[in-house]
Structure 1
Amino acid sequence: MNTLDEKNDDVKFRIDRWLCAARFFKTRSLSVDALECGKVLCNGVRVKPAKSVAVGDMLSIRIGPYQFLVEVLALSSKRGPAPQAQMLYRETEESLRRRKELSDELKAQPMPTFLRGRPTKRDRREIEKLKDSVW
């Protein structure tokens, strides 16, 4: 049986509900927004939130800088615990490798220095000097 919710094979599951149940997005409205913005592709095609998802579909999901390529293994529209949600899909090896490389690359980058908060008195004086020299 491929469904975790129901025992009936002819039950259809909306892709927005499935994305929420698989815990790619925290709420259904976030999954709807991602679908409408084209961040989720089903079998390489942009889809609407009401599209029915089937076992065997390949989904490409972009969340921030990360790209997930997953195969739908089971169907559910109820959000459950994380171990149960992970049984709904299988991520491809290439996708895992690319996400790991990107994660390592992002960690290796230095932290931006402009996110320190408010400038100090010394910083403000240097900014003023810079402005005066440019004008």
Structure 2
Amino acid sequence: MADTTQVHYLERNDSIYRIAAHHPGAVFDEIYFVHLLENSLALTYSEKKEVIDAIHRLSQYQIDELVKVFLDEREQFKAIMEEESESIIKLYEEAKKNWTLLIEHYETEEQKNIQQEVDHGKLDEIRKALM
């Protein structure tokens, strides 16, 4: 069962993993990084999107610092979980909803890019046929 859940989780985040895989300035575990980003309760939709869009430009130091921040954030929320459980649950639900929207955004972008490539290919075929 855990394997099925893990496979579903990986498939669900595929479009974001493909973006995260392009990072010439740093070496890191993309799956772990995306997991930390997804589960950040402090970052908004737009802040998470900015991180994803910037991954390919981030240095090793910047990636390492983001990981530290995400881990520190986790510890801070764990420390106040008892007193602030309702607020944390709301933040979690909001983060979950926003992550789904991010996935949808990147899947849509990916589909647009694929369609543009197909369209360019068709145009090239037409140009060749007209020559």
What TM-score do the two structures reach when normalised by structure 2?
Answer: 0.28
When you count helix as a share of all residues, which structure comes out higher?
2
Q: Which has the higher contact order (CA 8 A, sep 6+)?
A: 2
What TM-score do the two structures reach when normalised by structure 1?
Answer: 0.27
When you count strand as a share of all residues, which structure comes out higher?
1
